[in-house]
Amino acid sequence: MATTHVFTLSDVYRQSLEGTWVAQGWNAAWFGGGYAPGSPFSRVDRIIFSSDTSTAVAKGPLSLARYALGASGSTTDAWFGSGYAPGTPPGPVSRVDRVIFSSDASTAVAKGPLSLARSNLAASGSTTDAWYAGGNAPGTRSTVDRVIFSSDTSTAVAKGPLSLARYVLAAHGSTTDAWFGGGAAPPVSTVDRIIFSSDTSTAVAKGPLSLARSYLAAHGSTTDAWFGGGYSPGSLSRVDRVIFASDTSTAVAKGPLSLARYGSGAGGNTTDAWFGGGDGSPGVRSTVDRVIFSSDTSTAVGKGPLSVARRELASN
């Protein structure tokens, strides 16, 4: 994932009156798409953080089954973008689906596409926009697209590129910046920072991850990003913490995931991250791990699983 959800008191008051507050990004994460051998998924699972030992609940599906997609979101919606679809012909797509949290039993609504069909990209954003970066189209890409939520039927606008073309990377952001880390080009430890207010510039390379790897996932708080799992080669349980205020330093390795895996999705709130699914090498997993930021040297705690085992999924 990748978005930090920021709420005002008016948001809380309004959503409480509407009866939708419990379903919002602050209290839940949506994991969408993915792949198990022979079976791409349109499934969207909802994990409610306050009952995270329960099996995730399947919600309204994406408009198209696919995997290797990216996801970002606001306080009220999640946007699942691009990915690989096994259609006729099979290949990367530019489709962006919007999942409305307050009506998440409905099929996701297709919105304006990305500027380029691609798979294996990453996404992050603010409460008003999402940035989708990197991917394979085919050919490794540095492309960054901005989707403006308020005009989400328009084609996404291409912005300043990443500092390095790569795919199977991960991203997390604050309200002002996004950090895109890792990926394959071949496997790299590069972390790029995109400043939303100057998003036509080439992204600035920052302090690297502690280990070059691909197929990782990321979530974090307003001050830090946690990049978990991946492939280097072989499955990894490593979790790296990137501190935004000192982002020229090498990321610090923290307590590992409960299981080495790659191709997971990650979502959460400002205090915890949930890493879900992935390939445990061998075997596609439904495992969900919770990383508590305040005790980040501990091994992640296994929580209630996804409703179906899959890899190369995305989460808001």
Residues 221, 159: Cα–Cα separation, whole Å: 24
Contact 276, 258 (CB under 8 A): no
For residue 155, pLDDT over 60 is answered with yes
Per-residue pLDDT at 26: 63
Tell me: the pLDDT tens digits for 235-269? 999 999 999 999 999 999 999 999 999 999 999 99
E strand spans, 196-307 = 204-206, 217-220, 224-228, 239-243, 252-254, 265-268, 272-276, 288-292, 301-303
Tell me: the pLDDT tens digits for 195-246? 999 999 999 999 999 999 999 999 999 999 999 999 999 999 999 999 999 9
For residue 12, pLDDT over 80 is answered with no
Boundaries of every domain in the chain? 9-315
Residues 298, 300: Cα–Cα separation, whole Å: 6
pTM exceeds 0.95, yes or no: no
Torsion, CA 149, CA 73, CA 145, CA 68, rounded to 10: -140
Cis amide bond preceding 113, omega within 30: no
CA 81 to chain centre: 10
Tokens 């008016």 locate to 10
Sign, Cα dihedral of 114, 117, 119, 120: negative
Residues 1, 37: Cα–Cα separation, whole Å: 24
Q: Average model confidence (pLDDT) for the chain?
A: 91
Tell me: the pLDDT tens digits for 75-117? 899 999 999 999 878 999 999 999 999 998 999 999 999 999 9
> Looking at domain 9-315, which of 3.40.50.620, 2.60.40.10, 2.120.10.80, 1.10.150.120 is its CATH number?
2.120.10.80
**Burial class of residue 135 (count of CB atoms within 10 Å of its CB; 0-12, 13-18, 19+):** buried
Local confidence band at 25 (pLDDT 50, 70, 90 cut-offs): low
Local confidence band at 174 (pLDDT 50, 70, 90 cut-offs): confident
Query: For the chain, how many helices (H) and strands (E)?
Result: 1, 28
For residue 1, pLDDT over 50 is answered with no
Residues 271, 6: Cα–Cα separation, whole Å: 12
For residue 5, pLDDT over 70 is answered with no
φ/ψ of residue 124, rounded to 5: -155, 175
Residues 125, 9: Cα–Cα separation, whole Å: 21
